[in-house]
Structure formats: C-alpha cells, structure tokens
Amino acid sequence: MSAAIAASTDTHLQVSGATKSFEGTAVLKGVDISVSKGSTTAIVGPSGSGKTTLLRLIAGFEAPDGGTIALNGTPVAGGGAWVPAHKRQVGYVAQDGALFPHLSVGANVAFGLAKRGKAARDRVAELLEMVSMDPAYASRHPHELSGGQQQRVALARALAREPELMLLDEPFSALDAGLRAATRRTVAATLARARVTTILVTHDQAEALSFADQVAVMRDGRLAQIGNPFVVYTRPADRETAEFLGDAVILEAWLEGSLALCSLGGIAVRRPPAQGLVQLMLRPEQIRIAPDGPIRGTVVETDYFGPETTVRIKLHPLAVDPTRPVDPHQPKGGEVITIRHWNAGLARMGTELSLRVVGEGVAFPYA
C-alpha cells in the first residue's frame, strides 16, 4: 500500500521508516507518513513522543539515522541523499513564534525576503493582509502585539519565503481558548488560499480533529494511527489512541461474530479484531438518555460545565436466570460509565435513568 502512495504524483511528502536517536535514546522508531499536495495533516501525541523531532527532520534541521524523506518525489534525506533546509521550500513556525524582539513587525516579515525597499514594503503589506492583519502593524514591535498577533506575524514571516510545505509546531498552544480558535481558523484559511501543504503539530485533540484532512497519532516514537479525523475518532486503532482523542466508555464484553455482549446490551462491532473476551469502546455521545431505553442506571455523580453536564451512572445489575447454567461471560452490570448531557436537571444524584446505545462499538483485544 505504501508503495502505491509513494508512486502517486499527488504526494508532496513521503517519510519512510524514519528513525532518530539522541545520545543513544531512540526518539523516532520508524515513522511512515505520506502527505498529499495542498492537504492539511495534524500530528497529535503526548509531550515527548517525538513530534517536534519529526518536523525538524522534515524541515532539514536534523538528519534521520535511518529511513528516507522525499519531497515531491525527490529524496532529500536518507539513503545517501541530503538537501539542506534552505533548499527544501519548507516553512517552519516554532511553538513560541520566535520573532526578533528588536525588529519591527515589518522587518521581521521582510527577513525572509530577497527584495529590499518599496518592493519589500509592498510584499510585507500583502503578507500581513494574508494573515488578516492591518499593514499599519508593520511599524510596531512584537511586544506591542497580542499573542495571537505575534503568531500571525511569525506565520507571515514563514510565508514570505513562499514555502510549498508549512510546518506548524504547536503554534497556538500559548493562546487562550477564544483567540486560539480564531487564530487557527485564520491560519487554516490563509494556508488553504495559498495552497500550501500544511502539517500542524498539536497536543490538543479537538484542534487536530477540526483542522486536518488527515490526523496522525504519535506515541512513543511511532505513528499509532493515521486517518481522516472521523475515522480516527470513531474507529481508533487501540485503547490508548481512543482515550487520547477524546472521552471513551470502555466495558468488558464477550464478542461473538460481530455482536459484543456487555452491560449495555448487544452492541454491533464493525470488523471484529478477535472473538471472545474484548474491551468494547463507545464514545460517550453514543449513550443516550431515553425514556424507553433498555438499560437502567442510577446517577452517582455529576459535574456541571454550562452547556453540558458530565454524568456518572452506575449501571444496574443485570438479572440472572436461575434456571440456566451459570455463563461466566454473561454481563453482570454494575459498572460506572461517564456520559454527557445538556440537561443538568436530568442529572441529579440518585436519579434513575433509562439508556440506549446508538451506533457501533469498537472492540480491542486483550493483549
């Protein structure tokens, strides 16, 4: 399959088997990723998993120990190839933006330009407009800007070199929630308009899911899963990925064919990976409070968040048929699950609720 991807003329970046160690510690343990032209990829993963290292290899600030990196089908690193950073047409915006504090905004943006004089000033104005900033900001200094404006100037400076591929390393993480969403939208729109292929590193799963065409989940130096946001969220490859990308309800279940029997009833599982005892994963929004729902539980804890309330529900024990032999795989009920509901009034402690599950579950085999 990767050979077919590598052969596509639409492929902008191809990383194959990339490894990297620092002082004898393996940081990247064999990374494969393919990025098509003009697309947006988000790389998510816990701190220290190797995200920045991967970007630095792609940018050309470091060389891989093993594996290869190709841009537009041309090898740039590995297998004897080496193209230095300044010849890769790759832009890089670091987490802190790293503007030159003693230079004006205009001079910061112009830093990457070959032009001088009026041509440079015109181009700086154009670049500032591209990131939704008034060109009048050119005369200000970085300390006179908000965090979001500084990030946009850093992006304008990176865009000045007209990169074909833009690498954004947690560029929004220092911003507060409202500004963060607005800056992310501006940046995404700017890069899409300029048709720049973009890779965004973030540890914010919501940011990744909303930003990207393709989400890659990095864990301990490897990509645990790559796919479109809907697929990685609804069909995560393993439990860690499931829990990293959002809240998950995980129950023990007995899988027969494509039906998982658990305390929430019989749940359909697409592509069952195993039979017998598994862990079944559902997203909390799949579990609905419904008056005619077949599953019963009691609210044991609630947490009010404004538009939503987190509700912890202890499932009622399931009836055992005394006339039948004991089946060790029969679900017993009694687990506590966490769901969300918009109606805080419904979720008072001690309230008995009926529940219904919608959609399919995902089964993970026990290791």
The piece of 21-29, 122-130, 175-183, 296-304 that touches ligand ADP (CB under 6 A) is: 21-29
Identity of the residue, 201 or 287, whose beta carbon is nearer to ligand ADP in the bound complex: 201
Residue 68 interacting partner from Mg ion, ligand ADP, none (CB closer than 5 to 8 Å by kind): none
Query: How far is residue 301's CA from residue 286's CA, in Å, rounded to a whole number?
Result: 19
The piece of 14-22, 43-51, 143-151, 312-320 that touches Mg ion (CB under 5 A) is: 43-51
Token reading at 160:
């000045």
Longest dimension (CA), the chain: 92
Interface pick for ligand ADP out of 22, 230, 305, 342 (rule CB under 6 A): 22
Residue 321 interacting partner from Mg ion, ligand ADP, none (CB closer than 5 to 8 Å by kind): none
Query: How far is residue 134's CA from residue 122's CA, in Å, rounded to a whole number?
Result: 13
C-beta of residue 313 within 8 angstroms of C-beta of residue 336: yes
Pairing between β-strand 90-93 and β-strand 165-169 as defined by DSSP bridges: parallel
Interface pick for Mg ion out of 16, 49, 52, 68 (rule CB under 5 A): 52
Rule CB under 6 A: say whether 294 interacts with ligand ADP.
no
Q: Which residues of 151-172 are buried (b: 16+ CB within 10 A; e: fewer)?
A: bbbbbbbbbbeebbbbbbbbbb
Residue 91 interacting partner from Mg ion, ligand ADP, none (CB closer than 5 to 8 Å by kind): none
Identity of the residue, 26 or 231, whose beta carbon is nearer to ligand ADP in the bound complex: 26
CB of 56 to ligand ADP, least distance (A): 8
Binding string, residues 41-70; x marks residues near ligand ADP by CB under 6 A: ----x-xxxxxxx-----------------
**Which residue, 107, 106, 87, 94, is CA-closest to 163?**
87
- The count of chain residues that interact with ligand ADP, using the rule CB under 6 A, is 11
CB of 48 to Mg ion, least distance (A): 8
C-beta of residue 292 within 8 angstroms of C-beta of residue 353: no
CA 303-290-307 angle, 5° bins: 35
Binding site for ligand ADP (CB under 6 A): 22-23, 27, 45, 47-53
